[in-house]
Amino acid sequence: MKRMAVLALVLAAGAVAGCASAAPPTSAARPAIPPEFRAACGHPGAKVEVRKVPVTISHAACDLTGVAISYRNRGGAAVPHGGGGTGVGNSFGFELTVHPGSLDVTITVTGPAGNA
């Protein structure tokens, strides 16, 4: 009888330990948001200067609608309201695209700055 009580205790402890060992969700499961974008997520009218391009920001992780985004010496644009498939560019080579469906935002810079 004593052996059964010990066995039951060992099995119960193993079950609890098994539950406790489940790893919590990590940030790797979520798309990484570059630091310069974090404060602007969900804040129309905020301003972001992109540090590295190209970059795509997941709409599910960070809503940039109405946020003004720029890149050093290349100008910028505000993320438009509405659906995807919207692209904004300028003669300095700055390009901002809102992807249809996902509403993810991609910022790229192409060519030389200015009207070359």
| Phi, psi angle pair for 19, to nearest 5° | -70, -40
H-run or E-run covering 28: none
Mean pLDDT, residues 33-56: 97
Position 85 scores a pLDDT of 75
* SS3 category, 105: strand
Position 87 scores a pLDDT of 87
Mean pLDDT across the chain = 79
Q: Reply yes or no on whether the pLDDT at 111 is more than 90.
A: no
> Percent of the chain at pLDDT above 70?
68
Question: In this structure, are strands 94-98 and 86-89 parallel, antiparallel, or unpaired?
Answer: antiparallel
CB 79 within 8 A of CB 25: no
* SS3 category, 7: helix
At 48-105, the pLDDT tens digits run: 999 999 999 999 999 999 999 999 999 999 999 876 677 898 989 999 999 999 999 9
Rounded to whole angstroms, how far apart are CA atoms 82 and 6? 64
